[in-house]
């Protein structure tokens, strides 16, 4: 945690989107041994770096270095506190070692770490020179849990302390004082023992912390000061080399600044990975009440470290497309973790909100996971990528063998629970059922939330995107089964049926609309209008609730194709099911390149400008999300598909090649420009200005720009 000492002290712990910081994120991170992060707060910049040194039985040692500098060099006199804490989470012990008021070190034990020793080294200047003066405070407290640590520290702050550097003015400052129990939670059992070391000093400065593992027997010397600097420099050099070997961005002519952008994108995805543990809360059709899902671990990347710091099933498949290029072993571990979250039916919860800390960040209506709810099985995309990695040996094969029973069950779950009304058709379950309050009932499970579907949800629906995902899934299942010598014919047959362009057209080509589409009970003539509220006699109008926006259906729905040109219509192309000589490929490319429809100078928009629900609110409070803005996961699939069709002989080969160049250049230019201007990668981009929108920093699938730069598909 950190604190700028001013009249109003504001303790910072996590970086939150609502803080509006000019920038924060990992600039370098190798996923395993080292990382460097920059946090630009108002008034100061923090650089945090770590190095891990393997050894012993418990993961070895690590050191952290935190360097704080004033935002502008003139600002040297401002006083800053850096707060370092250690906390248990339900088990383990900690012993503080205090000299005067300074917490010098903490020794402790935990199940996972065995014995350890954490040392808070004396602060120095930002270049490691001795510092003449600093003030120290510490706190020994109990917290109801990790999710309340910030509150515990805040409630113990007092400004009765005086900073008195020799020859300087005396200054009062805020520091941790005696601990008072949190209001509202007096009798709750404390889950967490917290020890905190506070250093107060002027900028610029540096503090180092070392963690030494008790089972690490022959340590060559502590990882601090010059030794740490040297190790860090070695890691930076190795990272740079490996980055170029993996992605060839220098060779492709990207500038050093563009390369730094790509390194930050990859690093922040990797540095955002977390090891989560706990249980989801699940609503099953078999039970009247929500139930806790079995407890378990999840090692995963996240869409946004600060705003969505948890696992999302279909996001993860995209994350692993990037991470598998950097470290296939890491990806294999993550995929295995996800598949281990499967229940006996073959279902994996879509959003992983596993403990109190995670739940504290999610509004109550999003917490429940429903066991009929799917999400695109993008882990098959990641697996497809891993299968292509060169040098598949016995280790990879035995990994696949372990995965196979789960893959089989997972695939079967989709195949049965999400089956459509006709053979070889599919339907997302769990659409919003209320047709009165939404312009178009949402389909959160598809991942494309408010993308327009049939206006009246019904069992007659056929969802094009899910059908294409299943074609991909069947193909990967067939390949895995063949490699393992398991029965593969049924998967092959399914893949062939789902790739049959005639059957695809029969179920999803809307001749009159000239596009691929969903099918269902649909009316195009819908709109939101103010509800008319009846006023009783003598009843004053101002006492009534404000009229709501409700949906009116001006023409009754009927079974038909759904006219909503956009990402869903592109799916047979995106997942490369179209034959290269299919005339439909020509139409798809034409729609993509049309500025009236999907093309923008910044990437492909999610819904055509000509589509009736383009940029329409879904309710009063629900702005358009997948109804126009540009999303990078889908654009990645589009660039990848263009690259594919550009490599196959056919009537559209040249067209695909030209579009490939153009779309790729547009995406890279815009994401880079937005990063330079705003300091972040974003959840989506405006289709009219290219500006980053919604959540930030979002180095989930938006970081796929690295693969687009590298031309890795
Ligand atoms: C909201 C508010 C702190 C929505 O990237 C994760 C998902 C995608 O899987 C999905 O395709 N995002 C996309 O349409 C974000 C979903 C966040 C839902 C929870 C809670 C948090 O407030």
Task: Specify the pLDDT at position 525.
Answer: 95
Q: Whose structure tokens read 């889908």?
A: 634
Q: Distance, CA 453 to ligand 1 centroid (Å)?
A: 19
Task: Specify the pLDDT at position 74.
Answer: 67
Please tell me the pTM assigned to this model. Answer: 0.96
- Measured in degrees and rounded to the nearest 5, phi and psi for residue 447 equal 85, -20
Asked if residue 96 has its Cβ within 6 Å of ligand 1, the reply is no
Q: Distance, CA 437 to ligand 1 centroid (Å)?
A: 21
Cis peptide before 697 (omega within 30 of 0): yes
Rounded distance between C-alpha atoms, residue 302 and residue 557, angstroms: 39
Complex ipTM tops 0.95: yes
Of 192, 225, 121, 546, which Cα lies nearest the Cα of 357? 192
Task: Specify the pLDDT at position 24.
Answer: 96
Asked if residue 360 has its Cβ within 6 Å of ligand 1, the reply is no
In this structure, which residue's CA is closest to atom 20 in ligand 1? 362
Q: Is 711 left (phi over 0), alpha (psi -120 to 50) or beta?
A: left
Asked if residue 451 has its Cβ within 6 Å of ligand 1, the reply is no
Rounded distance between C-alpha atoms, residue 26 and residue 272, angstroms: 8
Rounded distance between C-alpha atoms, residue 604 and residue 315, angstroms: 19
Rounded distance between C-alpha atoms, residue 28 and residue 236, angstroms: 8
Asked if residue 315 has its Cβ within 6 Å of ligand 1, the reply is yes
Asked if residue 361 has its Cβ within 6 Å of ligand 1, the reply is yes
As to burial, measured by CB atoms within 10 angstroms (0-12 exposed, 13-18 middle, 19+ buried), residue 435 is: middle
- Ligand 1 atom closest to Cα of 698? 5
**Which residues pair with residue 138 across a beta bridge?**
197
Q: Who contacts 249 (Cβ-Cβ below 8 Å, separation ≥6)?
A: 243, 258, 259, 262, 709, 710
Q: Whose structure tokens read 């593969």?
A: 488
Q: Which residue of 15, 272, 308, 450 sits with most ligand 1 atoms within 8 Å of its CB, as the best mutation to test the pocket?
A: 308
Task: Specify the pLDDT at position 547.
Answer: 80
Asked if residue 449 has its Cβ within 6 Å of ligand 1, the reply is yes
Residues serving a catalytic function are 449, 683
Q: Where are the alpha helices (DSSP H) in 136-255?
A: 149-155, 225-247
| Residue pair 4/10 in contact by the 8 Å Cβ criterion | yes
**Angle formed at CA 17 by CA 14 and CA 23, multiple of 5 degrees:** 85
Percent helix, strand, coil in the chain (nearest 5)?
A: 35, 25, 40
Q: Who contacts 511 (Cβ-Cβ below 8 Å, separation ≥6)?
A: none
Asked if residue 303 has its Cβ within 6 Å of ligand 1, the reply is yes
Q: Which two tokens stand for residue 654?
A: 């040249």
In this structure, which residue's CA is closest to atom 15 in ligand 1? 308
Q: Which residue of 17, 311, 312, 361 sits with most ligand 1 atoms within 8 Å of its CB, as the best mutation to test the pocket?
A: 312
DSSP 640-690: HHHHHHHTS-STTHHHHHHHHHHHHHHHHHHHHHHHHHHSS--SEE-TTT-
Q: Distance, CA 623 to ligand 1 centroid (Å)?
A: 14
Q: Distance, CA 308 to ligand 1 centroid (Å)?
A: 7
Rounded distance between C-alpha atoms, residue 284 and residue 372, angstroms: 8
Rounded distance between C-alpha atoms, residue 235 and residue 239, angstroms: 6
**Angle formed at CA 605 by CA 604 and CA 608, multiple of 5 degrees:** 115
The helix/strand/coil state of 195 is strand
Mean pLDDT, contiguous 10-residue spans, the chain (713 residues):
89 91 96 97 94 95 97 76 96 96 97 97 95 96 91 94 94 91 67 96 96 93 96 98 98 98 98 96 91 96 96 98 97 98 96 92 91 97 95 93 98 98 98 90 98 98 98 98 98 98 98 98 95 76 77 96 98 98 98 98 98 96 97 99 98 98 98 97 98 98 98 98
Q: Distance, CA 633 to ligand 1 centroid (Å)?
A: 14
In this structure, which residue's CA is closest to atom 18 in ligand 1? 366
Q: Distance, CA 337 to ligand 1 centroid (Å)?
A: 21
Of 273, 262, 209, which Cα lies nearest the Cα of 239? 262
| Residue pair 483/475 in contact by the 8 Å Cβ criterion | no
Asked if residue 700 has its Cβ within 6 Å of ligand 1, the reply is yes
Q: Who contacts 225 (Cβ-Cβ below 8 Å, separation ≥6)?
A: 128, 208
């Amino acid at each position: 945690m950190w604190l700028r000492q001013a009249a109003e002290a504001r303790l910072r712990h996590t970086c939150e989107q609502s803080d509006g910081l000019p920038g924060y994120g990992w600039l370098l991170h190798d996923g395993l041994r080292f990382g460097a992060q920059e946090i630009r707060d108002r008034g100061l910049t923090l650089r945090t770096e770590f190095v891990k040194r393997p050894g012993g039985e418990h993961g070895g040692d690590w050191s952290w270095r935190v360097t704080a500098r004033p935002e502008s060099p003139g600002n040297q006199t401002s006083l800053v506190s850096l707060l370092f804490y250690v906390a248990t989470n339900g088990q383990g012990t900690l012993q503080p070692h205090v000299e005067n008021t300074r917490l010098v070190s903490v020794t402790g034990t935990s199940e996972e770490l065995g014995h350890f020793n954490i040392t808070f080294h004396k602060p120095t200047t930002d270049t490691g020179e001795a510092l003449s003066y600093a003030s120290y405070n510490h706190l020994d407290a109990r917290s109801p849990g990790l999710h309340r640590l910030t509150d515990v520290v805040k409630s113990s702050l007092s400004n009765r302390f005086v900073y008195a550097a020799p020859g300087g003015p005396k200054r009062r400052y805020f520091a941790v004082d005696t601990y008072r129990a949190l209001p509202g939670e007096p009798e709750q059992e404390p889950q967490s023992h917290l020890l905190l070391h506070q250093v107060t000093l002027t900028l610029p400065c540096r503090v180092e912390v070392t963690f030494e593992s008790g089972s690490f027997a022959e340590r060559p010397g502590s990882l601090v000061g010059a030794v740490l600097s040297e190790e860090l420099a070695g890691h930076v050099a190795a990272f740079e080399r490996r980055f170029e070997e993996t992605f060839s961005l220098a060779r492709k002519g990207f500038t050093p600044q563009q390369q730094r952008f790509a390194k930050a994108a990859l690093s922040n995805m990797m540095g955002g990975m977390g090891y989560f543990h706990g249980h989801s809360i699940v609503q099953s059709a078999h039970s009247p009440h929500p139930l806790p899902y079995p407890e378990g671990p999840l090692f995963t990347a996240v869409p946004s470290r600060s705003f969505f710091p948890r696992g999302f099933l279909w996001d993860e498949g995209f994350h692993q497309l990037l991470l598998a290029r950097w470290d296939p072993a890491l990806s294999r571990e993550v995929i295995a973790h996800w598949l281990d979250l499967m229940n006996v039916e073959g279902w994996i919860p879509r959003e992983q909100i596993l403990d109190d800390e995670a739940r504290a960040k999610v509004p109550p209506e999003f917490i429940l996971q429903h066991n009929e709810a799917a999400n695109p099985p993008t882990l098959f995309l990641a697996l497809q990528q891993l299968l292509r990695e060169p040098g598949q040996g016995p280790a990879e094969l035995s990994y696949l063998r372990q995965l196979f029973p789960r893959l089989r069950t997972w695939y079967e779950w989709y195949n049965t629970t999400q089956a459509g009304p006709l053979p070889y058709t599919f339907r997302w379950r769990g659409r919003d059922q209320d047709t009165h309050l939404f312009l178009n009932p949402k389909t959160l499970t598809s991942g494309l939330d408010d993308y327009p579907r049939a206006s009246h949800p019904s069992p007659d629906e056929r969802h094009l995107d899910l059908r294409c995902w299943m074609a991909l899934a069947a193909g990967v299942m067939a390949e895995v089964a063949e490699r393992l010598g398991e029965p593969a014919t049924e998967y092959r047959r399914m893949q062939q049926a789902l790739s049959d362009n005639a059957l695809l057209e029969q179920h999803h080509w809307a001749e009159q609309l000239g596009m691929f589409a969903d099918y269902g009970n649909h009316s195009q003539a819908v709109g939101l209008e103010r509800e008319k509220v009846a006023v009783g006699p003598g009843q004053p109008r101002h006492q009534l609730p404000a009229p709501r926006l409700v949906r009116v259906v001006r023409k009754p729905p009927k079974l038909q194709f759904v006219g909503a040109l956009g990402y869903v219509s592109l799916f047979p192309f995106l997942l490369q099911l179209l034959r290269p000589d299919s005339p439909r490929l020509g139409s798809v490319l034409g729609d993509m390149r049309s500025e009236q429809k999907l093309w923008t100078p910044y990437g492909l928009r999610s819904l055509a400008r000509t589509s009736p629900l383009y940029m329409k609110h879904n309710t009063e409070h629900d702005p358009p999300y997948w109804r126009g803005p540009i999303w990078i996961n889908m654009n990645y699939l589009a660039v990848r598909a263009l690259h594919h069709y550009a490599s196959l002989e056919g009537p559209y080969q040249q067209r695909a090649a030209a579009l490939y160049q153009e779309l790729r250049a547009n995406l890279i230019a815009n994401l880079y420009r937005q990063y330079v201007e705003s300091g972040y990668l974003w959840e989506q981009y405006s289709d009219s200005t290219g500006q980053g929108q919604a959540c930030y920093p979002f180095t989930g699938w938006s970081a796929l720009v690295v693969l687009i730069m590298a031309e890795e598909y």
